[in-house]
Structures are given as C-alpha cells and as structure tokens.
Amino acid sequence: MPDYSYTTESPDFQRLLSMGFSETEAAQLVHMKDHVTEQTEYRELLQESRRLDFMRWLIEHDRISR
C-alpha cells in the first residue's frame, strides 16, 4: 500500500478522523481527493484524442470533407 504520511497534517484528514474513519481510510480518501482532478483531466484528454482520431478517419476515408 502507498505511503500517505503527507496527508496526516491536512484539515480534511483530521476531519475524517473525527468522523470515525480509521487513519488508513482517511489517508486513502484524502489521497483520492487530491488526485481525482488528474484522472478527470486524463480522461478528457483521452476522449479528445479519440474524437480527433475519428475525425481523421472520416477525412481519410472521404466520409467528410475538410
């Protein structure tokens, strides 16, 4: 399991502990919160890349004009 020691000082981590989450659960939730934006941006880039590939295919196969 990854080390989440950097999260123990965050207010989110402390709030999760006060809500009854274990240290491991709180650390994982804070880690996920910190990295969800990166995953969203990656998915958006991947979708855009697929759209462009499809447009390229349409043009190459004379299904659409430039």
Three-state DSSP state, 60: helix
pLDDT band at 1 (very low <50, low <70, confident <90, very high): very low
Please count the structural domains in the chain: 1
Domain extent at residue 39: 5-60
pLDDT at 63: 92
Q: Which of 28, 33, 22, 34 is nearest to 4 (CA)?
A: 28
- Whether 8 has a pLDDT exceeding 60, the answer reads yes
pTM as predicted: 0.54
Per-residue pLDDT of 12-58, as tens digits, reads 999 999 999 999 999 999 988 888 888 888 889 999 999 999 999 99
pLDDT at 39: 85
Query: Does residue 65 lie within any of the structural domains?
Result: no
- Whether 5 has a pLDDT exceeding 70, the answer reads no
Query: Does residue 66 lie within any of the structural domains?
Result: no
Number of CB atoms found within 10 A of residue 7's CB: 20
